[in-house]
Amino acid sequence: MTTRLIDESLFENPENRDKREKPEYDSGDAPRLVGARCSGCSTVVFPRQDSCPRCAHGTMSAHVLPVSGRVWSWTLQAFPPKPPYRPPAGGHRPYHLGYVDLGEVLVEARLAVPREEIRIGLPVRLTTVTAYEDEDGTEVITFAFRPERDDER
């Protein structure tokens, strides 16, 4: 099956990596998220933006985010979000959504965590999940966080 990222601007350009580290999206390896850091006050934001929300003195430059963090808060998304969300075949299925503390910034993301495991402070790691399927059958993937295994810390 063919895959594509939901929005390439959210992710590190794989061409900037060593070729041995280039992610193969079809294999389930997660790409790295990219935010922005202010040169004036060091504020980090995600997604990227052109101006700093904290000061007017710095310029924003691309900043690759850590791949692991901790669940800061979470909820169950029980109703369909606004467009451009496209429900899967068979209709909307509830999913976990939360803020993940990556140290420098909180990132809102889907949480690929079973209900019985989810808790505030849970160590999590970046992954990808299917957001929807295009009309041509292309699987559109987005970022999410899954429980981090002990051997990944």
Mean pLDDT, the chain, integer: 86
Domain locations along the chain: 3-152
User: What is d(CA 9, CA 34) in angstroms, rounded to the nearest whole number?
Assistant: 8
Distance from C-alpha of 144 to C-alpha of 67, rounded to nearest angstrom: 10
* CA 107/CA 135 separation, integer angstroms: 29
Task: Render pLDDT for 27-49 as a digit per residue (tens, 0 to 9).
Answer: 445 689 999 999 999 999 999 99
Per the CB < 8 A criterion, the answer to whether 110 and 85 are in contact is: no
pTM summary value: 0.84
Peptide bond into 47 cis (omega under 30): yes
| d(C-alpha 150, C-alpha 153), whole Å | 6
What's the pLDDT band for 14 if we cut at 50, 70, 90? Answer: low
Closest CA to 3 of 120, 98, 129, 147: 129
Q: Is the pLDDT of residue 116 over 70?
A: yes
Cα separation of 54 and 96, whole Å?
A: 30
